[in-house]
Amino acid sequence: MKKLLVRKLIVITLFFAVVFVSLPNGAMAETPGETLKNMGYVIGFADGKLHENLIMKQGELVALVSRFIRATQIPKEYQFMAEQNSFDRFVNKVYNFFVKNYYNVRLFFIRTYYELTNKEIYPGVREGHYLFNSIVILKAYGFTIPESIDINAKLTSEDFFNILYGMLGFNENEFENSSDVPLPEKYRIIFSLHGKRNSPLLSKKGYLTRGEVFEEFLRLIQTQSSS
């Protein structure tokens, strides 16, 4: 009797295991961090885990935004004119060749200079630092890195938007009477101008976990792609 009961339990366990494995992906929903990792924007720690419950550091957000910029803001091909004939295609090929080589040369000289001199390319960042390659690329392509970033400091909601929009080219100083406008209100205006919903992080106090940052970053880029 006991053997029969054990066999039944084994069969039932195997049945549910097969059903669970065969469920569609939606039944085993990814976390925002896992989604961003699959998109190439998040790498994770040395142990392969994302540790979404840990507090995020400002430098980690810089790495996340820089990967997004590399994937979406830097053209794969450069075009001088609309192509209507073979001559237009020839002009575009020549133009693309020179522009790509221009940026390749900039990358080479910026990287080589900081490697040979061992100077900081950004406060706290030298060759070998996990942000070094990202900042080389950002500098070469003319993207701004806000000066107020402390790469080892814990991230607040204010830091999140300062870094995100500072790196993407928004400048709060463009507001008239900038110092009189509360920072959350500035970002509400930016959200409105770009057709985005107000972020729940605007009212968040304290430090942000990696999971909270991943969730909000994913929401913002999905809003951008659908607008």
| 2 domain residue, yes or no | no
Q: Is the pLDDT of residue 176 over 50?
A: no
Q: Is the pLDDT of residue 105 over 90?
A: yes
| 3 domain residue, yes or no | no
Of 142, 157, 192, which residue constitutes the final position of a domain? Answer: 142
Q: Is the pLDDT of residue 133 over 80?
A: yes
Same domain for 57 and 85, yes or no, is no
Q: Is the pLDDT of residue 181 over 90?
A: no
Query: Can you give the residue range of the structural domain that contains 214?
Result: 30-73+146-227
Residue whose C-alpha is closest to residue 96's, from 67, 126, 76: 76
Helical axes 183-193 vs 157-167, angle rounded to 10°: 50
- In angstroms, the CA 165 to CA 159 distance is 10
Same domain for 67 and 91, yes or no, is no
| 152 domain residue, yes or no | yes
Give the DSSP letter string of the chain. Answer: -HHHHHHHHHHHHHHHHHHHHHS-GGGGPPPHHHHHHHHTS----TTS---TTSBPBHHHHHHHHHHHHHHHTS-SS--SS---SHHHHHHHHHHHHHHHHHHHHHHHHHHHHHHHH---SBTTB-TTSTTHHHHHHHHHTT----TT--TTSBPBHHHHHHHHHHHTT--GGGSTTGGGS-HHHHHHHHHHHTT-PPPGGGG--SBPBHHHHHHHHHHHHHHHHH-
Q: Compare 130 and 188 and report the one with higher pLDDT.
A: 130
Give the range with max mean pLDDT: 44-53, 151-160, 169-178, 202-211: 151-160
Q: Is the pLDDT of residue 109 over 90?
A: yes
Distances from the Cα of 22 to the Cα of 9, 26, 28, angstroms: 20, 11, 10
The three-point CA angle 172-76-105 to 5° equals 85
Same domain for 223 and 166, yes or no, is yes
Same domain for 218 and 150, yes or no, is yes
Task: Please state the pTM of the whole predicted model.
Answer: 0.72
| 191 domain residue, yes or no | yes
Q: How many residues make up the chain in this entry?
A: 227
Residue reference for tokens 């928004």: 170
- Kindly report, residue by residue over 66-76, the tens digit of the pLDDT: 998 888 888 88
Q: Is the pLDDT of residue 164 over 90?
A: no
Total tally of structural domains belonging to the chain = 2
Same domain for 68 and 83, yes or no, is no
- Kindly report, residue by residue over 54-93, the tens digit of the pLDDT: 898 999 999 988 998 888 888 888 888 788 888 788 888 8
